[in-house]
Chains A and B, each alone.
Chain A
Amino acid sequence: MTTTIEPARLPQVPSRARIAELQAALDAGYTLPSAWYMDRELYAHECERVLRRSWHYVCHEAEVGDAFAHEIAGAAIVLRRERDGVVRGHSKQAQRPIRVEQWGPMIWANPDPAAPCFDDWAFNLRALVADNGMNLDDFRYSYERVWRFKANWKVYLDNSCECYHCPTCHPQVNKAMEMDVDKQDFFAHRNWITHVIPIRPSAGYRSESAGLLYHFHWIFPMTFLQYTQERRGFDIGSARPLAPDRVELRNVFFVRKDMAKDEEEARRRRQAESNVVAEDVAICERVQEAHATGIAPTGRILPSSEWFITHFQRRILEMMAA
């Protein structure tokens, strides 16, 4: 028999005054407090106010048939390709239409019917990607890898939106890419950031792109998109929270529609040599272990190297306060 313990109190949304305090702390170089990375109530509020009101990658175009069921932070949704060829979706719980958009071979959705369209959310990003020579309509799905690990979704977000950790955690990246920040480019919009890094002539695991530029975009809250100027493929990492301390990452690879099987196979073999995701997963799980103690001090970042974290944590607070 399992004893049921009644909840000690009802969930409370952080007050406006508290949010203002946390915003001031972010401005001073601190992160959100450790409790925000493990607390069940805060997580429930984040799901409701942030994650279920944001745009997420759902699946690739070939996956959608009569009914593709998916779940985003507790919102059950169903996508369906209709007779006119357009993919539409609805929320299972509320039985109302939700916003769905296609970008190249990718299907994105926002469970909030009142959400802005994708191009308002990720303002100008499609144009930027196209300017980089990546017309995503020219690509098709190749394969994907799924990782489930023990970390809060923001632990993974914090980890993946900065490359301050690359020299110490990712030997392959350190070897293949220019780690001098003065030679890298960073820019951000409200809901996305971009990081451009030159690939060294002796590029190691990214040998196919030696001497070219690497582009990394993070689309708030949970998706990265990366490619190099070689322009033969791109991949996305779409993270999905499963619990306050658990996340699922789908790393989905796309290639040029006309790519021959042997080239695709060779790319896949080369990509399998990368340890980057496994290294990040191990890092995130150790950080979560520290948060789970309940006594981890609030983090202090170096704004010049990690301002993307502050940028996105501000967005989280904004949406929590809305």
Chain B
Amino acid sequence: MNLEAVANGIDWSRFVRHLAPARIRELERALRDGSALPAHWRTDADLFAIERDAVLRRCWHYAGHAGGLSKVGDQIVQKIAGVPIVLLRDERNDIRGFVNICRHRAHLVVLENQSRRSMQCIYHGWTYGLDGRLRAAPRARTDPCFDEEQFPLLSIQVHQWGQTLWVNLDLAAPGFETNPTARPAAPLGASIEDCRHSFDRTWTIKANWKLFVDTFMERHCVIRPRKHQGLATWWLFGEGHTSIEGEQVPCCYHWLMPMTFIRHASDRRGFDIGAVRVVDVDRIEFRSSVFVNRDMSAETEARRRESCLRDAALDADSDLCERRQQTDAEEGGPPPPLSPASAWLAARLLEAVRQSDQTERPHDDHD
């Protein structure tokens, strides 16, 4: 049993098996007629769990910047689509990621960001190397059949692009560079590689993730479909305006579906990443990470930061989303046309349903 086999052994498609036929018909109808998904797709906890498990955990997500992993042994913990992960810089100076769950009895291995040459689970002291291999388990010698090699932490995909870090929990998912449509260039803006991280802002919003993404797109950017880009695409291109030091300047958006955008303003002085983290069916965290050109003066950076912190656009988005979520929960919501995030999600879920039909397994208590 090797590392890859273990992680690839997660049968992601099994998660859609609990999707009722009526729900599948709703997805098909929405895609066929271009009509919105019924409100329970934004309020029902069971449906959310299916989306999260079958789709969101197989997508690429923004996972922060490389600044926190500057030296060997630096470890950062976070949750991606509800899964605890640890990102670290290993002995070979590479950045790697693992599911932060002990192979022994499922305790979280790393409890907080730290800098150490190993990862030790406090439950029973099982200790993993920076390569994820189980190095030592107390009293393991008393069990001659026990083979440490068989119990590494589950590996995840990590991609570094400039100072930005991206992760995908599914080792079998297409790589970041080999997505159906490869990662975008930034025709208008600064190149990702030439920028450093400046600061982050976060919001907690009481709304479903699709509602937020659709609302944000509706208010800030016009999606420009490109030739041959159907719903299978991972990158959507959009255009809009953003506020820089109090002025509205043109910008372009690259949406890494389903819940992350990179925004380049035409002033070519930096970019920012907006990333949604799902917390619950009706709760998300939105993080805006601002990157600036390496050679930007401290004074300019401070001025930009100050004006950015004064910008209330996202607060207004947040309020609107929370009101819409409330309407959904109370009245069933208005029936707007099918929006991009919902359409994309519906297409991915139906793919998973088809895949699941082909790989039906005998047991429900997956192991």
Contacts from A to B (Cβ < 8 Å): 1-3, 5-9, 12, 14, 18, 25, 29-31, 33-37, 39, 41-42, 158, 164-165, 167-169, 181, 283, 286-287, 289-305
The answer to whether B105 touches A303 (Cβ under 8 A) is no
Residue B313 lies at the interface, judged by CB distance under 8 Å to chain A: no
Most A CB atoms within 10 A — which of B23, B102, B106? B106
Residue B316 lies at the interface, judged by CB distance under 8 Å to chain A: no
The answer to whether B20 touches A8 (Cβ under 8 A) is yes
A-B residue pairs, 3 tightest by C-beta: A33-B367, A3-B40, A35-B365
The answer to whether A168 touches B367 (Cβ under 8 A) is no
The answer to whether A35 touches B366 (Cβ under 8 A) is yes
The answer to whether A168 touches B123 (Cβ under 8 A) is yes
CB distance from A321 to the nearest CB of B (A): 14
Other A-B pairs, 18, CB within 8 Å; known A287-B107, A292-B82:
A1-B330, A3-B39, A3-B332, A8-B20, A31-B105, A34-B366, A34-B367, A35-B365, A36-B365, A41-B364, A293-B101, A295-B83, A295-B169, A296-B101, A297-B103, A299-B105, A302-B143, A303-B143
CB distance from A239 to the nearest CB of B (A): 17
A169 CA / B125 CA spacing, docked (Å): 9
Q: Which residues of A contact B84 (CB under 8 A)?
A: 289-290, 293
The answer to whether B139 touches A35 (Cβ under 8 A) is no
Q: Which residues of B contact A34 (CB under 8 A)?
A: 106, 366-367
The answer to whether A304 touches B138 (Cβ under 8 A) is no
A41 CA / B22 CA spacing, docked (Å): 21
Name B's interface SS.
Answer: loop
B139: which of A25, A286, A304 is its contact (CB, 8 Å)?
Answer: A304
CB distance from A17 to the nearest CB of B (A): 9
Q: Which residues of A contact B10 (CB under 8 A)?
A: 295
Q: Which residues of A contact B366 (CB under 8 A)?
A: 33-35
A164, closest chain B residue (CB): B124
A5: which of B40, B125, B146 is its contact (CB, 8 Å)?
Answer: B40
Q: Which residues of A contact B47 (CB under 8 A)?
A: 5
| Number of A-B residue pairs having CB atoms within 8 Å of each other in the complex | 134
The answer to whether A167 touches B142 (Cβ under 8 A) is no
Q: A297 and B53 in contact (CB under 8 A), knowing A5-B23, A33-B365?
A: no
The answer to whether A165 touches B139 (Cβ under 8 A) is no
A2 CA / B43 CA spacing, docked (Å): 8
Give per-residue flags for B333-367: 1 if the beta carbon is below 8 A from chain A beta carbons, else 0: 00000000000000000000000000000111111
A83 CA / B74 CA spacing, docked (Å): 70
CB distance from B151 to the nearest CB of A (A): 6
A305: which of B123, B139, B363, B367 is its contact (CB, 8 Å)?
Answer: B139
Q: Which residues of A contact B104 (CB under 8 A)?
A: 299-301
Residue B329 lies at the interface, judged by CB distance under 8 Å to chain A: yes
The answer to whether B143 touches A304 (Cβ under 8 A) is yes
Q: A158 and B20 in contact (CB under 8 A), knowing A300-B151, A302-B139, A304-B143?
A: no
Residue B279 lies at the interface, judged by CB distance under 8 Å to chain A: no
The answer to whether A290 touches B108 (Cβ under 8 A) is yes
Q: Which residues of B131-172 are within 8 A (CB) of A?
A: 137-140, 142-143, 145-146, 150-151, 154, 169
Q: Which residues of B contact A164 (CB under 8 A)?
A: 124, 138-139
A293: which of B83, B138, B365 is its contact (CB, 8 Å)?
Answer: B83
A130 CA / B283 CA spacing, docked (Å): 55
